[in-house]
Amino acid sequence: MKYTINQLEQISNLVRYWILYSTTQAGSGHPSSSLSAVELGVGLFFGDNFRYDIDNSRDINNDRFILSKGHASPLLYSLWLLAGVITPEEIQGLRQFDNVLEGHPSRRFIFADAATGSLGQGLGIGIGYAINAKKFDQIDSYTYVMLGDSELAEGSVWEAAANASYYNLNNLIAIVDVNRLGQRGETMEGHNLEIHQNRFEAFGWNVLLIDGHNLDQILDALSQAKNSDKPTVILAKTIKGKGISLIEDKDNWHGKALTSEQFEVYIEELGNLDLDFRAEIEAPMKLTPFQYTPPQLEGLIYPNYNLDDLVSPRKAFGEAIKLLTSNYNDIIVLDAEVSNSTYASHIDSARFLEMFIAEQNMISVATGLSLAGKKPFVSSFAGFLTRAYDQIRMAQYNDPNMVIVGTHPGVSIGADGPSQMALNDIAFFRGMFGSIVLYPSDAISTLKLTEQAYLYEGMSYLRLTRADLPVIYPNNESFVIGGSKTIYSSDLDEITLVGAGITLYECLKAYDILEERGVRVRVIDLYSIKPLDTATLHLAARETNGMIVVEDHNQAGGIAEAIRSELEDTGIAIKSLSVQEIPRSGTPEELLQFEQINVDSILEQVETLRQAI
């Protein structure tokens, strides 16, 4: 149904009522930030632009609306209440523990197209949706992202802006609520829309400047945006707290709700309201998404390697991802301009996205692709993934189904020096809800664990060594999430050596030397860091007298700490050999020696532990 401007103005007043009602009932929230964007939301939802099947929120043909300024969630919920999918009783329970209408949008509310609230990320997620619709599914849908002017100070916004114009996403429309006031006062640019205009134009966007409370201008801008050959940003000059004189354009009202008494007084400024009124949103055309046909369908036939062949795990990953994208049509590979080193680009170019050196945006785009039903593989040097810590943290709240691949971890990368060394990444990914952390040692384990990561529904992290390492497993060896490999074991084992990745080979060297000395040790390849193979670890705790964990990672949050938390009630002595000193440039061998995570250090600790026992 097409509404007149007068009707849209009445709907806007209703939206304002429900914003104030819900936040007053909650006693908290961000009504002023929501009120400034009311006409923008109403013009989009009910101004004959937005297409959405309210009976199927996951319909791939739906337009998408991402509230990047997630603190304005009362606006989002009030719009959906007017659309008839939320009841007054539900919005009355805003921010309550058992209510899906949380303080910032979460995926518990099925009409939230992304969990948001950490500013600066919505535009990147929107790119994921938009690029999926345009390049991969090839459907006629639009992605709308509403941002606040404060978050334009975030660098991730401009990473996304550059990326959107590079991929010419004319189905992506950003709406910036320029209300001038941030949390503690005026924003960086205030109401100077021309500064924002110059910046977006420099990034290759179509820019429209409007009065954000003028519905005629809003509808005209949305129409223009949908007919642009570029991504479009609508810069809307608005008034924070618009419509309520008590808080309109006033400092110190950010994040404050009206009291019940104030609500009763100031709600009268909205005039007579029909609180039973509900508006309509038109459903989209039902188009069949494009089905990608992989270039070859020969089954998962892995390349054969010979034992002792020297193959880098990162190179084996390249073989694995090429094979997987040749057999599954939902994989999209993203890389941060290092694909010739991560081997991520060795696939059909139709399934590859170059994200350049913009790791924050890369993770946000992958989140959007995941929400749109794809299985993104995201690769970069492990040390650089921590640039996107907050994007990964937020991804865990978006039902992520993605694989993050970190190559070149640890001091063993050698002469490039400490700026390139990931020494905290295991801790980082272990801490994510629902994540798994896999750390293969050789080519065979990398091939098999890459497939396991693809099959896992959730967030997976693959940690891949840079160096060429000997193949130690036969081609038919199987690997499972939550497993490990006990490479050497006997009834006479005194000590258990636990390694993963490159340190496993130091453990194997120590085994050979100790065997010649008549000392029996057990060697475990703990390739699944999360979840752990608890049965194998507990067996080792019962059958040996001590355990030495060797890892090319900082001790805090690493493998030894994971094992200690699992075996804390067993009483077994656990010695950690990990990165303890700030590293420097050098050969891998020198650095392993310097950090005391090499064969010599293992032998020394075995002797120390045997004497103590």
From residue 476, alpha-carbon distances to 297, 448, 501 in Å are: 21, 10, 20
Amino acid letter, 54: I
| End-to-end Cα distance, the chain | 80
To the query of whether residue 359 is one of the catalytic residues in this protein, the response is: yes
Per DSSP, the chain holds a count of helices (H) and strands (E) of 22, 19
What's the rounded Cα separation, in Å, for the pair 548 and 30? 52
Instruction: Enumerate the H helices of 67-214 as residue ranges.
Output: 73-82, 88-92, 122-131, 155-166, 193-202
The residues facing 461 across adjacent strands are 404, 437
Please report which residue ranges of 27-72 form alpha helices under DSSP H. Answer: 31-35, 38-46
Alpha helices, DSSP H only, in 170-213?
193-202
Distance of CA 227 to the CA centre of its chain: 31
- Asked whether 95 and 102 are in contact (CB, 8 A), the reply is yes
Tell me, what DSSP letter sits at residue 409? B
Q: Pick the catalytic residue: 90, 159, 319, 359? A: 359
CA–CA separation, 410 vs 402, rounded Å?
23
Tokens of 391: 């994007």
* Distance (Å) of CA 263 to CA 26, 101, 196, 245, 250: 12, 21, 35, 12, 17
CB 404 within 8 A of CB 460: yes
Q: Which of 203, 34, 43, 191 is nearest to 123 (CA)?
A: 203
Q: Quick one: which of 426, 599, 572, 438 has its CA closest to 496? A: 572
DSSP annotation string for 537-596? HHHHHHHSSEEEEEEEEESTTSHHHHHHHHHTTT--EEEEEEE-S---SS-HHHHHHHTT
The two structure tokens encoding residue 196:
């924002």
Label each residue of 265-331 as H, E or C: HHHHHHCCCCCCCCCCCECCCCCCCCCCCCCCCCCCCCCCCCCCCEECHHHHHHHHHHHHHCCCCCE
Q: Are 73 and 67 in contact (CB under 8 A)?
A: yes
The edge-to-edge listing of strands for the beta sheet with 375-381 is 352-354, 331-335, 375-381, 402-407, 459-464, 436-438, 528-530
Q: b/e for 102-111, b at 16 or more Cβ within 10 A?
A: bbbbbeebeb
C-beta separation of 213 from 177 below 8 A: no
Contacts of 469 (CB under 8 A, 6+ apart): 310, 311, 312, 313, 441, 442, 443, 502, 505
Query: How far is 258 from 108, CA to CA, in rounded Å?
Result: 26
CA distance 515 to 507: 12
Active site (catalytic) residues: 359
